């Protein structure tokens, strides 16, 4: 299981019939203490 924080909602003009009436949410993974995980950045 992953912990995540909801950051927004997804709006679409067309959905699969199995998704009609359901909410699509945009989430970002968080650590157990609620902090955002540190991401590695690559230099170019």
Which DSSP string corresponds to 9-39?
E---S---GGGTT---EEEEE--TTSPPPP-
Q: Structure pTM?
A: 0.56
Average pLDDT over residues 2-10: 90
Domain residue ranges in the chain = 1-13+21-32
Q: pLDDT category, 3, cuts 50, 70, 90?
A: confident
Going by C-alpha positions, the residue among 23, 29, 19, 21 that lies closest to residue 10 is 23
> Above 80 in pLDDT, residue 1?
yes
Residue 19: helix, strand or coil by DSSP? helix
Tokens of 22: 């359901």
Q: In this predicted model, what pLDDT tens digit does every residue of 10-43 receive, in sequence order?
A: 998 888 999 888 999 999 888 888 777 776 666 6
**The pLDDT value given to residue 44:** 66
């Amino acid at each position: 299981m992953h912990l995540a924080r909801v950051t927004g909602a997804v709006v679409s003009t067309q959905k699969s019939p199995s998704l009609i009436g359901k909410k699509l949410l945009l989430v970002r993974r968080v650590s157990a203490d609620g902090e955002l995980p540190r991401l590695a950045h690559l230099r170019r």
